[in-house]
Amino acid sequence: GDSVTQMEGPVTLSEEAFLTINCTYTATGYPSLFWYVQYPGEGLQLLLKATKADDKGSNKGFEATYRKETTSFHLEKGSVQVSDSAVYFCAQTNGNQFYFGTGTSLTVIP
């Protein structure tokens, strides 16, 4: 069935370090892919999305590219800030159901 697997955490980085959080998916069709961010005590907010192969989603310095050949959607940021500390979820949809990864906790230290 459809599923998402993402890198286990927690991840701790120093400010200005490079971030990669790996995400791969299994799908019967051609899903849309998302990264969500959750700040402490809050719900999930959309960070970026890509709706077809080779699309790149980007927002707030974060990027992810929809790679159909490797069924991946890895999240990257060139220089993280303390304010990026949060939990990040990779997700896919077939237009009705959504499938989420287990989340990766990121802590950025000054």
Partner 1 sequence: DVKVTQSSRYLVKRTGEKVFLECVQDMDHENMFWYRQDPGLGLRLIYFSYDVKMKEKGDIPEGYSVSREKKERFSLILESASTNQTSMYLCASSPRGQMNTEAFFGQGTRLTVV
Residue of 11, 13, 17, 44 that binds partner 1 (CB under 8 A): 44
> Using the rule CB under 8 A, is 57 a contact of partner 1?
no
Rounded CA gap, 106 and 35, in Å? 14
> Using the rule CB under 8 A, is 89 a contact of partner 1?
yes
> Using the rule CB under 8 A, is 102 a contact of partner 1?
yes
- Would the CA dihedral through 59, 87, 32, 63 be positive or negative? positive
> Using the rule CB under 8 A, is 31 a contact of partner 1?
yes
> Using the rule CB under 8 A, is 32 a contact of partner 1?
yes
Toward partner 1, which CB reaches closer, 80 or 91? 91
Rounded CA gap, 16 and 43, in Å? 26
